[in-house]
Copies of this chain bind each other. A is one copy, B any other.
C-alpha cells in the first residue's frame, strides 16, 4: 500500500505530536489532570497572581475557554482566585495545587527525558530548536 503522506514533513509533525501527546495524557490520567491543567499548574505556580486572561495569552487559549478550565481547577481545590481590582482576579495555587504540581513535575520530567531518548542521538540537539522556529518566531 502506497502512502504518499510519509514523505511530508508536516504530516510527520502532526503524527508525532499526536502520538506523543496521547502518551503524555495517559501518564497524567492517574493524577486526574488534563493536558491544559498541567500547563496552567506550571504557569500559575511560577507566576502567582497571574490572571486568567494573561494565562490564556501565554497558552494561546481564548479568554472564553479559560472560564470552564479555571472553574474546574478551582472546584478541584487546585487553585483559588483572589480579586485584584473590580474586574481582575489573580490566580494562586492552593496547597493541594502545589502538591499536585510537584507530582506533575515528576511525571513531566520523566516523560520529557524518555521523549528525548527516543529521538536518535544524531538528531537530538536539533529537535527543540527546529520546532521552536516554527511557532516562536
Provide the main secondary structure of the chain A interface.
helix
Can you give 5 contacting A-B residue pairs, CB < 8 Å?
Answer: A1-B50, A14-B20, A115-B134, A118-B137, A119-B133
Copies of chain A in the complex = 2
Interface size class of A (residues with CB under 8 A): 35 or more
Nearest CB on B from A39, distance (A) = 6
A43 adjacent to B118 (CB under 8 Å): no
B43 adjacent to A4 (CB under 8 Å): yes
The answer to whether A9 has its CB under 8 Å from any CB of chain B is yes
A9 to B109: give the CA distance in the assembly, Å: 10
A133 adjacent to B128 (CB under 8 Å): no
Question: Most chain-B Cβ atoms within 10 A of its Cβ — which of A39, A60, A123?
Answer: A123
